[in-house]
Structure formats: C-alpha cells, structure tokens
Amino acid sequence: VERITVIGLGLIGGSLGLALKAAKLPNIEIVGYDTDTIAAVDARRLGAVDKTEPTLQRATADAGMVILATPIVAMRQVMEEIASGLRENCIVTDTASTKSLVTEWAGQLLPPHVSFVGGHPMAGKETAGIANADAKLFAGKAYCVVPSPNATESAVKLVAGVAHLIGAQPLFIDAHEHDRYVAAVSHLPLVLSSALFSLVRGSPAWPELAALASSGFRDLTRLASGDPELSHDICLTNREAIIHWLERMVEELSRYRELLAESQEEELFKLFTRAQLDRDTYMAAGPPTRTEVTRDVPDLGEQLTALFVGERLARRAREMGKLFSEPPSGGRTSPKVDGRAPEKRHRR
C-alpha cells in the first residue's frame, strides 16, 4: 500500500483528501496530520483521510507523496521537521497561494533524494476549515504545477496526475511567474475587497450604507470574509508583486477619477463599454482549455501506483550508479501492479 500524506487538514487539505478518496485509488492510503487534533478527528469522520498520525514524523516517514496544505508561513517549519525522515524519492508538494518562497525553502531544507514540485489549486472559499471541505472544490479549476529545479520528470507528472485526478487542470508554470500572475488575479482582488469593506464600514454613515448595500457590494467584498491568516501570509510572501499591482490599481482608479473630474464623458463610456465587451468574451470562453501535457499525465490509480514505484526504483538506481540492477529495498513495500513488475512499467 502506497501512502499519500496530507499535512494540514483545513479547507484545502480536507478537500484534497476527500477528492483523492473519491477517486478510490487502489493500494493508496490517505494519511492526514494536523496540529489541531479536532481537525484531525473531523477529517477522519468526514472520510477525508483513511487515518491520521499523532506526529508529523510518523505521518510522513513512509509516504510516497507528502502534500503540505498548512498556512504558507508554517510550511518552512514543517519542511524542517520532516526533512530528515522522508524516504528516498519521496515527492513533496504543497498548496500554498504563493510559490517563490516555498520553492526556495524546499531547496534549502529538503534532502536531495526528495523531489519538490510546488502546487497551487486555483480554488477556494471564503469559509475556511475542514467543515467546509468539498471533494468537488477543484473540479474544472486550474491547478498550478511548479517544478523545483531538482524535481524529476516523473515527480512532476505525478503531481500533475493528482491535479488531473481530482478534476483540475494542471498548468505548468515557473514560481516567480506564478507569483506575479496571481498577484494580479487573486491577491489584488483580495486586497481590494478588504479595503473596500474597511473603507465603507469605517464611515460614520455605516448603518445607512449597510441598509442600502445590495448584491454588488456583497460580491465585491466577499473576499474580505476570507481567512485573515491566509490573506496575511499571501501579503508576506508575495509583497513586491502585490505592491506592484496595488500601485497600478491606484493609477487605474486615478484615471477614472480624472475622467470624471474633467467630464470626459465619451472616454468614460468607452472604458465601460470596452470592459463589458472584454469581460463577456472572457466569461464566454469558460475555464482554461486542457494543455497538451495533461493528456500525458497518469489519470488512474493504477498508473499512480506504478509511477510511485517506478520512480522510486529509478531514482534509487541512478543514485546507485547502476540501472535497474537493484531490487527495491527490502523494508519498503514493492508492490506489483496487475502482475507486472514495476520496473517494466517504468521503462515504458
């Protein structure tokens, strides 16, 4: 039995567990860990994990894949604590909303025999916690796959395969590029939402404003109800890109302000019309189309298992300096898949 361990059983970790369990992977056990023991109990009760372990070390020591789904700033310490216990060729991935620092930490802290492949499901809710976990949270959503420099090709494919398995669209992207892009489409909206709510809420006329506020105000301020810890982590770990986009947003708003102040009615009308047309086009296009590479990723539990096993063998073989001449280590599982030797599948 191969083990996938989810560290951090909140909304994202819990939803990942539920989605993986829903895929009914044969020979795969989903193990969970959370410092919050109540969350751990809930995760078991909700069926997001097969079991939980009482310590980080026990949860991760035998895992073929470790998924870090804790708050971003906690990931550094988790990496430190699990690094020495990770087995050879373990694949470590994460779900952090920013990727540069996490990738940097992985490079510094994880041992070279481990492949780190960052991940970021472009899905969320403003309601945090395991209680809001949902197996379908990732369906149809983009899932950024951010390989670290030392990640093996099959580790990258495996993480993309997991994304695919849970219904998401793997999108391969560089960590810095990722952070600049999500600053625009995810973090700027977050700050806008929070700033808009704070501004209006802070008005002495708030009771009247609240009575008049309708769906527009509620939609625009929805992200202000998001987990403040997450918002804070995002700001800390993507500071420069967010500052950049905030400055551009201030410029854009000042442009609207100027047009209003100068009564440039025609220009204003053009702006609104252009935005409407472009947004309607964007909305009509639907979610991102599947990239070519996603057809190449495993989408079945069998292949997942085979890849786990094959990867482990291949890495071991490379490190031993000889190809396929070493059998899998005795203490660890060496499952066969459909009666075929894992070596054979790896060579494919």
Of 233-262, which residues contact a copy of itself (CB under 8 A)?
235-236, 239, 242-243, 246-250, 252-257, 260-261
Alpha helix segments (H runs only) across the chain: 11-22, 37-45, 56-60, 72-83, 100-109, 153-165, 175-182, 188-201, 206-212, 215-220, 228-237, 239-261, 265-285, 301-320, 342-347
Using an 8 Å Cβ cutoff, are 132 and 177 in contact?
no
| Least distance CB 6 / a copy of itself (angstroms) | 21
Residues 76-115 that bind a copy of itself (CB under 8 A): none
**Cβ neighbours for 276, distance < 8 A, ≥ 6 positions apart:** none
Residues touching a copy of itself, count (CB under 8 A): 91
Residues 18-77 that bind a copy of itself (CB under 8 A): none
Q: What angle do CA 96, 100, 102 make, to 5 degrees?
A: 50
Between 65 and 171, CB nearer to a copy of itself: 171
Residues 282-301 that bind a copy of itself (CB under 8 A): 282-283, 285, 288
Question: Which listed residue (269, 326, 327, 329) binds a copy of itself by CB under 8 A?
Answer: 269
Q: Which residue, among 305, 288, 334, has the nearest Cα to 23 in the 3D structure?
A: 305
Strand blocks (E) in 103-158: 115-121, 142-147
Query: What is the distance between the alpha carbons of residues 276 and 36, in angstroms, rounded to a whole number?
Result: 46
Using an 8 Å Cβ cutoff, are 64 and 161 in contact?
no
| Least distance CB 305 / a copy of itself (angstroms) | 30
DSSP structural state of residue 132: G
Q: Does 162 bind a copy of itself (CB under 8 A)?
A: no
Stretch that binds a copy of itself, among 11-19, 273-281, 309-317, 329-337 (CB under 8 A): 273-281
Question: Which listed residue (83, 139, 268, 300) binds a copy of itself by CB under 8 A?
Answer: 268
Site pattern 193..222 for a copy of itself (x: CB under 8 A): xxxxxxxxx-x-x--xxxxxxxxxxxxxxx
Between 181 and 324, CB nearer to a copy of itself: 181
DSSP structural state of residue 126: S
Between 266 and 338, CB nearer to a copy of itself: 266
Between 152 and 194, CB nearer to a copy of itself: 194
Question: Which listed residue (134, 227, 299, 343) binds a copy of itself by CB under 8 A?
Answer: 227
Q: Does 123 bind a copy of itself (CB under 8 A)?
A: yes
Stretch that binds a copy of itself, among 29-37, 191-199, 295-303, 306-314 (CB under 8 A): 191-199
Give the chain's largest Cα–Cα span: 79
